[in-house]
Amino acid sequence: MASIRDLKKDINNVLGDIIEAVYIVEAANGKQDSKEGGKIIDGAIETFDDLIARVNQRNVDNRKAHLMKVRADLEKKATALVQDLNKLG
């Protein structure tokens, strides 16, 4: 299993890339600070906060299974945010 540090980096990189992509799409379309883009960014930030808090939980029965669930949730939520991003562009 990958280290917790790698999981935290993955969470940061994936969600950071989604936020950056929102800014790029908005700049390319000439409509910066759109409500739709702001909603995607807020979703990415909320997801980041939630997943990091779950990674830092120490009082879980099976730590490995817990972290695997966090990684699966990252993939699911990131996919949903990317789908929203694709609708934006």
Please write the tens of the pLDDT for every residue from 31-63.
Answer: 877 899 999 999 999 999 999 999 999 899 999
Strands (E), 23-63: none
pLDDT given for residue 2 in this prediction:
62
pLDDT given for residue 88 in this prediction:
84
pLDDT given for residue 41 in this prediction:
96
pTM of the model: 0.90
Asked whether 15 and 44 are in contact (CB, 8 A), the reply is yes
pLDDT given for residue 33 in this prediction:
77
